[in-house]
Each structure stands twice: as C-alpha cells, then as structure tokens.
Amino acid sequence: MGVDNDKIHAFVADAIELTNPENVFVCTDSAEDVKHVRKMAVETGEEKPLETDGHTSHFDGPSDQGRDREATKYLVPKTETLSKALNQIEREEGLAEVRGLLKDSMKGRTMILRFLSLGPAGSVFSVPCVQATDSWYVAHNEDLLYRTAYDQFCKIEKDKNVFCFLHSCGEMNEDMISVDVENKAIYMDYTKDTIYSVNTQYGGNTMGLKKLALRLTIRQADREGWLAEHMFISGVNGPGGRKTYLAGAFPSACGKTSTAMLPGETILGDDIAYFRKINGEFRAVNAEAGIFGIIQNVTEKNDPMIWEILHKPGEIIFGNILVRDKKPYWLGMGQETPDEGVNFSGQWHKGKKDANGKEIPLAHKNARYTVALTALPNCDPELENPEGVPLGGVIYGGRDPKASVPVQQAFDWTHGIVSYGASLETETTFAIIGEEGVMEINLMSIQDFLAIPLGKYIQNNIDFVKGIAKPPLVFGVNYFLRDKEGNFTNDVPDKHVWVKWMELRIHGDVPAIDCPTGQIPRYEDLVPLFKEVLGKDYTKEDYVNQFTIRVPENLAKIDRVEKYHKENVPGSPQEVYDTLQATRKRLQDAAEKHGDYISPFDLVS
Ligand code: SPV
Ligand code: MN
C-alpha cells in the first residue's frame, strides 16, 4: 500500500489471484530485505554457495539454457497487425493460454515483488518496472543487474504507467528445476505493457527488466522519439587524457561484452542502451546496472579484469557452469578442468551422453555470471548520471567469416546505419536455442526484440540524428573474418586496437582510406597502435590479409541483404536500397580497376 499507483495495485491483485501464492514478499530494498532475497535463493536450493565468499551457482534445465524464440510471442489484438517476421499469437487466445499455465503456479510458494528502474533512477531516461516472481534467483539477479527503486515508487503518481512482469518457474523438481519446459511461454501483452513468463528459469526468459522490457521500451521509444538499443557503452581513453564514449551492438556471443570491457578502458554498460537528444547532443545511458555475461572463453590472459572479479570475494551468481568441490569451472577457461562434477545435466562425468547420444560438455556454452557493474574497478563513473554521456561513436559487429573487413568507418550516419546496422549478417551461436553456425540477418542485432515494424525501426534510427550537430561516427567491425585456410585473420585482443583507432577518428586525429564499403585504417596508423596497445609488431602481411576488399563476397552479401529487406522488411526505407545500390556500384567499379581482391595499398591515392 506504500506504492499508491492504480496500475500496480491492479497488476499485483490480479497476479496474486491468478498464481495463488502462499505469501507475498514486498522487497523494500532495505539492507535486510536484500539480504533476505539472497538467503532465500540459497535456502530454497535455487542457488548453492561456492567456496569463495559471496559466490553462488544456479542451474537451469537442459532444455532451458537460452532465450527461446519459439516460446516468445507477442499478443496481438485482432484489430492490429505486426510484422510477419515477429512471432505472434492472437491476444485473447494467447492470454488465455499463458494465464492458464500461470493458474495456481505459485501455490505453496512465495511471490516476490520488486520495484526497479531501467536507466538511472529519477532521470528523463528512467522507466519504472514492477517484477512479480516466485524465483528468489530471479529476484537476486535483479538486485545485481538493475537499479532498485522502492523509494521512488513510494512517490510515484497514481496514474503513472509502469512496465509489469509476472514470472513463475511453474512446476519444479527436487533440484528446483522447472520441469514443464515443453509448456514454456513468454508472452508479451504490449497493449498493457505487461509480460507473462512461465515454465522457464533462464535469465533471458525470466528477468523482466532484461530482454522482456527491451521489447516494450522499443515501442515506448518509438512513440516518444528516442532509441532503445541492444548495445554496450564504454569509455575509451584517448590522447591527452580525453575520454570518448562508444556504444556497440553485436549479436549474442560475438564479442560484445569483451569489447565493452577492454583493459584500461571503462565500462558503462554491456547490453542495453537508451539514446536521447538532450540540448542538441546525442546522450546515452545504460538501461541496466550489472552484467549477465557469457563466461565461456573467459581466460586469465584475455579477460584479466573479469577473471579477477570471478576469483575474489564479492557477490557473483554463476549460471550453468560446472561445480566441483564448490569451485566453478567453464568451457575455454584456459586451465585444467575436472572430469566430473555437477552441471546443468546433474551429476556429470566426462563422456556423459544426453538422451540423443550427444556428449554433454562440462558446462553449457551459454553459461553466465551475474555481477553488479559497481563491483568492477573499471566501472565508468558516469553510470548514474541522469543526463547520460555524450556518444562519440556507434559500432555494429557480427560473425562474418567471409566478407567484412575487421574494422571500417561509415561515410556518414545513414550509410553506417544501413551498411553495418541494417545489413548485420551473422552466424547463429549457442546463445539462442537452435542450430549454430547458420548465416542469418539480425538487423542491428536487435531483431529478436523488435516489437515495431522493422522498417519503422530502421527509419527511426536514420532520423534520430536530425538536429544533432555532431552525430556519432558509425563503425562496422568483424572479429571473425577467416582466410582461405579457414583460420581467423585476427587475434582476440586485436579489437582493442580497432577501438583505439575509432577514438582517434572521432577526434579527426588520423586520416583513413576510402574503400567501396567504407573507410579503413592506414597501415601506418595501425603500426603504432598495435605497439602501444598490445606490444605487437604489426606486419604488412597481416594488414593485407585483414583489409583486402573481397569484392565477390561483399557483392554476394549485398544481394542477400537486399533480398532479405525486399522479402521481410515491408516499408524498409528507400535509403536502405539506395545505399546498398551505391555500395554495389562502388564495388563493381573498383573491381574493374583493381580486380576482385583489392589490397588496401592499391586504394591509397
Ligand atoms: C543476449 O543473449 O543477448 C544476452 C543474454 O544478453 S539474454 O538476453 O539475457 O539471454
Ligand atoms: Mn544481449
């Protein structure tokens, strides 16, 4: 009753009546309440303490290890239509289905209510959210990942709109794993800014403020003229003590968190960014306040900072790793790992097979860790700035073995939005349930979360910079380019050099080479950067290998992108077709002059 808001009262009353919990715990964010959430996560068995102080481990079921596209649907009223590319169900029918699954789902359990804010609390960016869940694990994660806002909610206007999330694990087995995953449902009633999620525990399907809210904020941003993006934000240090903020969109497991967390730079966010025009400036905030990061391939050498955090006392939740003698292990950790332990499949030993005879890895590839940003020594000091930070550049990256160079700069905002964002093509990864390694278009890496027509979303991005004197530069990156033998053309740490080069470009400190697909770095500018940043001698051979313009592969990519837009993006802006056509022409003209594979040295005029 301390929160006097009509929508919240109606939501909570309905949620209680529907799910029928034994108790309701209202988390007021007091130290005592927060401690209670932590304690209950362990007491119920949803989390198990590990050896290091503050560390716990949680498992999701074997078929609940990632975001589930099939089970995630928009509830669309009969009178409306939504892009056919989006998974949807008629609203009344879907509501009946999901509410049927939620009926009495919390019987004998406690419903936890959390009051949280997306974006810094008390700012023009804030979006108030209410979460109801029967999972202490979900409530605990949200403590690390979001701004707690109970106090703000006590002052909320009676008629203020809020986002509401109702989650239940559904039936669980004795190990506290949801068993009815066949009946997983994550249904979005965007007409009421309310989302239902049931029979699942994986964070991306259950924590309302993560990807469920993103779908609603994209709609709100569309109505109000701002942008909600699937992007990290980091502060990159440049010459003379300056700092430049960059945001970047990558599909899951394509280098996003590691780009956000480069050693020596600061991290402001790793997953979701909001952009607004404030006094003619392009300003950005992190919607979140913590990291739900992929742990696979986190090594002491490549990710020293996160490695350290994961090994010292402090609040960390590990998800879907291997536990042996209360110690956490994961794939690609660059250390010897045990041959047995407990993982998402239960008691595990090397060679254990699943029901289909497939060998079960020691940990899931999508195993994750949750940590508050403020626990990191490199957390950017502007995290809570209510006006956000000014953005210098935007990066789009995918997993492209064949066509795109490792880094390039767009000729202008629209060229970048179209050629790197709306053309983002990537190999699918383990972060989504389904086949891996299939090439797919994933516009701006946000396609899974788009809840407005795709063409409208692209147009909003193109138009957003109108009236901004100095829009961010747009860059395209590809950490996954391979040579003829199938080897990667780059080492993992090279991304740091690309980011430092972008920083210089944003301030006009170095020239660049015009090529058909954008502007690429000069060899002589990369040599000192490789030396300073990585202590590496950068050879001409590496440069040519990485930055040769592959004309046939790029033309083929343009054809695929164009076909995709024609078939799947009704109302895709004319700028998309014009920009793709202009690039095609530049590639053809260049090939006539220099051949199909153009060394960057041939492009220097
Ligand atoms: C992603 O897969 O993009 C994530 C993790 O950030 S989650 O969406 O929560 O699954
Ligand atoms: Mn993400």
- For ligand 1, whether the C-beta of 211 sits within 6 Å is yes
Query: Residue 533 gets which letter from DSSP?
Result: I
Task: Report the percent of the chain where pLDDT is more than 90.
Answer: 92
Region at 14 (left for phi over 0; alpha for psi -120 to 50; beta for the rest): alpha
Residue 188 CB burial class (10 angstroms; 0-12, 13-18, ≥19): buried
What is the distance in A from the centroid of ligand 2 to the CA of 255?
A: 11
Mean pLDDT of 469-494: 95
Residues in the chain: 605
Of 141, 167, 232, 271, the residue with max ligand 1 atoms within 8 A of its CB, to mutate for a pocket test, comes to: 271
Helices (H) and strands (E) in the chain, counts: 17, 33
The continuous run of DSSP H or E covering 232 comes out as strand 232-237
Of 60, 67, 450, the residue with max ligand 1 atoms within 8 A of its CB, to mutate for a pocket test, comes to: 67
Q: In the predicted model, is pLDDT for residue 438 greater than 80?
A: no
Measured from the Cα of 66, ligand 1's closest atom is 10
Q: In the predicted model, is pLDDT for residue 362 greater than 70?
A: yes
Residue 26 one-letter amino acid: V
- For ligand 1, whether the C-beta of 399 sits within 6 Å is no
Pair type for strands 55-58 and 316-319:
parallel
pLDDT tens column, 221-262: 999 999 999 999 999 999 999 999 999 999 887 889 889 999
109/175 Cα distance (integer angstroms):
15
Q: Which residue's CA is minimally distant from atom 7 of ligand 1?
A: 204
Give the pLDDT band (50/70/90) at residue 364: very high
Of 138, 210, 436, the residue with max ligand 1 atoms within 8 A of its CB, to mutate for a pocket test, comes to: 210
pLDDT tens column, 15-56: 999 999 999 999 999 999 999 999 999 999 999 999 999 999
What is the distance in A from the centroid of ligand 2 to the CA of 204?
A: 8
**Cα 513-518-522 angle, rounded to 5 deg:** 25
What is the distance in A from the centroid of ligand 2 to the CA of 252?
A: 6
Mean pLDDT (the chain, rounded) = 96
- For ligand 1, whether the C-beta of 271 sits within 6 Å is yes
- For ligand 1, whether the C-beta of 522 sits within 6 Å is no
Residue 328 one-letter amino acid: P
Model pLDDT, residue 431: 64
Q: How far is CA 416 from the centre of its chain?
A: 20
361/342 Cα distance (integer angstroms):
11
Give the pLDDT band (50/70/90) at residue 305: confident
Ligand closest to 69 (CA) is: 1
What is the distance in A from the centroid of ligand 1 to the CA of 262?
A: 20
Q: In the predicted model, is pLDDT for residue 152 greater than 90?
A: yes
Q: In the predicted model, is pLDDT for residue 81 greater than 80?
A: yes
Query: What secondary structure does DSSP assign to 473-531, as a single string?
Result: EEEEEETT-B-TTS-BSS-GGGHHHHHHHHHHHHTT-S--EEETTEEE--HHHHHHHII
35/45 Cα distance (integer angstroms):
16
Q: Which residue's CA is minimally distant from atom 3 of ligand 1?
A: 252
Pair type for strands 316-319 and 322-324:
unpaired
Q: Which residue's CA is minimally distant from atom 8 of ligand 1?
A: 204
Q: Record the tokens describing residue 123, joined without a space.
A: 């700012």
Mean pLDDT of 456-470: 96
What is the distance in A from the centroid of ligand 2 to the CA of 230?
A: 6
Model pLDDT, residue 103: 98
What is the distance in A from the centroid of ligand 2 to the CA of 332?
A: 21
Residue 441 one-letter amino acid: I
Measured from the Cα of 251, ligand 1's closest atom is 3
- For ligand 1, whether the C-beta of 204 sits within 6 Å is yes
All residues at 6 or more sequence positions from 49 whose CB lies less than 8 Å from its CB, including other chains: 42, 55, 56, 326
Mean pLDDT of 311-327: 98
Q: At what angle do helices 6-19 and 91-102 cross, to 10 degrees?
A: 60
C-alpha separations of 33 from 2, 37, 154, 485 in Å: 16, 6, 16, 57
The pTM score is 0.96
What is the distance in A from the centroid of ligand 2 to the CA of 272?
A: 7
Q: Which residue's CA is minimally distant from atom 5 of ligand 1?
A: 204
Model pLDDT, residue 433: 67
Per the CB < 8 A criterion, the answer to whether 601 and 523 are in contact is yes
Q: In the predicted model, is pLDDT for residue 134 greater than 70?
A: yes
319/311 Cα distance (integer angstroms):
15
235/503 Cα distance (integer angstroms):
10
What is the distance in A from the centroid of ligand 1 to the CA of 44?
A: 25
Model pLDDT, residue 429: 64
- For ligand 1, whether the C-beta of 283 sits within 6 Å is no
274/454 Cα distance (integer angstroms):
18
- For ligand 1, whether the C-beta of 292 sits within 6 Å is yes
Segments of 350-444 assigned E as strands: 368-372, 389-398, 407-409, 425-427, 439-441
Mean pLDDT of 165-188: 97
Measured from the Cα of 368, ligand 1's closest atom is 5
Please say if 379 is a catalytic residue: no
Ligand closest to 229 (CA) is: 2
Ligand closest to 291 (CA) is: 1
Q: In the predicted model, is pLDDT for residue 408 greater than 80?
A: yes
126/213 Cα distance (integer angstroms):
12
- For ligand 1, whether the C-beta of 365 sits within 6 Å is no
Q: Record the tokens describing residue 571, joined without a space.
A: 């109302």
Measured from the Cα of 270, ligand 1's closest atom is 6
Q: Which residue's CA is minimally distant from atom 6 of ligand 1?
A: 271
173/171 Cα distance (integer angstroms):
7
580/586 Cα distance (integer angstroms):
10
Residue 381 CB burial class (10 angstroms; 0-12, 13-18, ≥19): exposed
pLDDT tens column, 537-571: 999 999 999 999 999 999 999 999 999 999 999 89
331/367 Cα distance (integer angstroms):
9
| Catalytic-role residue among 27, 129, 254, 515 | 254
- For ligand 1, whether the C-beta of 208 sits within 6 Å is no
Query: Residue 241 gets which letter from DSSP?
Result: G
Model pLDDT, residue 253: 78
Mean pLDDT of 432-447: 81
What is the distance in A from the centroid of ligand 2 to the CA of 228?
A: 13
Measured from the Cα of 67, ligand 1's closest atom is 10
Model pLDDT, residue 115: 98
Ligand closest to 210 (CA) is: 1
Of 252, 317, 364, 399, the residue with max ligand 1 atoms within 8 A of its CB, to mutate for a pocket test, comes to: 252
Point out which residues pair with 88 in neighbouring strands: 74
Measured from the Cα of 271, ligand 1's closest atom is 6
